[in-house]
Structure 1
């Protein structure tokens, strides 16, 4: 099983969040740092291979610092399970 852990505890702004997600999920260098680009990449299996299990550490802290971005991240990860279950990964919020 392919597991990935992303620690969001030290993220302080939207730019840091998108940079961390881009790095950890191995997005192409040319990818945009916004939620539309995030969605496009996590649903494009030719560009990005999502892990089987994604553990997100510090989601509570992110929600306190960046509530809108935390909600958008959670929405994207929920929507992929609903719309594309064959490529969705198990999400653990810690």
Structure 2
């Protein structure tokens, strides 16, 4: 559901603050695991297709992405799931360029 305001509660480990999200990707070993983690952490709908086209559809119109997203364990993800790490970065860069110029994403 798309709303014009920030949700009152934030699911999963994405609870630091309403405008921040920290996602631990250190133990992710496959693109499928990455998509499942993103679905859980960002509260994607049950019908999320777990592919990059579906990721784009969800972030560009179905869910609210916090103003500041921090991915923890990025080096491990980039080593073990290089294509997925690259696609995630590309999608979030495109999302920021098109819709959210103030979006801040950290890869630690």
RMSD: 1.3
Residues of 1 paired with 2:83 and 2:47: CA distance? 24
- Of 37, 50, 54, which aligns to 1:20? 37
Structure 1 stretches of 4+ with a deviation exceeding 2 A read none
TM normalised by structure 2 equals 0.79
5+ residue gaps, structure 1, are none
Matched, 1:85 2:100: yes
Please list the CA deviations of residues 23-46 of structure 1 after superposition, one character each: whole Å capped at 9, or x if unmatched: 0011001111000000111110xx
Measured in 2, the distance between the counterparts of 1:52 and 1:84 equals: 12
The correspondence for 1:70, drawn from 85, 92, 99, is: 85
Give the TM-score normalised by structure 1: 0.90
Q: Identify the structure with bigger relative contact order (alpha carbons < 8 Å, sequence gap 6+).
A: 1
Whose helix proportion is higher, 1 or 2? 1
Task: Provide the rounded CA distance (Å) in 1 between the counterparts of 2:23 and 2:59.
Answer: 15
Return 5+ residue gaps in structure 2 as ranges.
Answer: 1-17
